[in-house]
Amino acid sequence: MFGIDLVALANWMIPGRMPAGGDGRDEHAINQADRKLNCAGCHLPVVTRGELPAEVGAEHLNDAWVPLFSDLLIHPGPVVDAERIAPTQRLPVVVQRVDDSGNLFNTFDLIRGMADDTLPNQGVANGREWRTPPLMGLGRIGPPFFHDARIFLSEQTVSTTPAGTVYSNSDTTNTPLVVRTLRDAIRAAIELHDLPAPFDAPNQSNTLGGSCPVPPGNQVGSVVYQNGAADICPPYESTTSQQNRGDARKVVRRWRRLSEDDQLAVIEFLKQL
């Protein structure tokens, strides 16, 4: 996934920490299968600190290698046209979904657009540009994820109206994803790196709205989705995709080609960081 030898990385950071073949506790923590996702294009596994100006103790930190899993640069995230031009970002909305058994359930829809101009004069980044968050410690700290904590776990909503979105893999497209566990939260965070998969996929889940996360009535307040699913789940080669999918679009497209087992192996690896 990151193009590195995980045994070598572990022993580089803490000599002798990881024996060849793993520690016997979690096969995914040392799984060296290359799934060719290129997460490391932004989440750079190891960086060096350089030299610090401190007069005391700096020798212990100067030029230290850190498993940060970030390039600390800004990258454009995905946007949805209607949300990008609205006077205000739409609030989370309750969306009714259908599971594989045909049962109806409600979730708080996770907003897919990353454009946020609430602080237009802060820094040099525009509304859709965000710094690559470090993944170091992700499995220890857990949710909430994203700049506004939109991916969350809550005791109050875990069994009533939890956060929800959709996910895709090699067998299914835009199937309902209800965030009830750390694994669900990490999967949602990966999916939100891009707009949902195209609505016209041959293995589109057969649920209300095809499970493309379109609000009821195609409208929330002043935010109107004129073309419904086409605005939120556009075909990859369409003009809407070219303009509105983010920097991670190719990575997430490769992610969606993985089997569910391979996706879960990636998630289990991330939980070890």
Cα atoms in the 13 Å half-sphere on the side-chain side of 249: 21
pLDDT digits (tens, 9 = 90+) for 242-263: 999 999 999 999 999 999 988 9
**Mean pLDDT confidence for 222-233:** 85
Q: Are 238 and 26 in contact (CB under 8 A)?
A: no
Q: In the chain, what percentage of residues exceed pLDDT 70?
A: 79
Nearest to 77 by CA among 123, 146, 124: 146
Greatest mean pLDDT among 54-68, 130-144, 206-220 lies in 130-144
β-pair type (104-109, 175-178):
unpaired
pLDDT digits (tens, 9 = 90+) for 144-157: 998 888 898 887 77
pLDDT digits (tens, 9 = 90+) for 3-32: 556 666 666 666 666 666 666 666 655 555
Residue 112 CA to residue 252 CA, distance in Å, equals 14
Nearest to 111 by CA among 95, 122, 96: 95
Sign of the alpha-carbon torsion through 76, 82, 86, 90: negative
Q: Examine the pLDDT at 203 and tell me if it is beyond 80.
A: no
Q: Evaluate if pTM is beyond 0.75.
A: yes
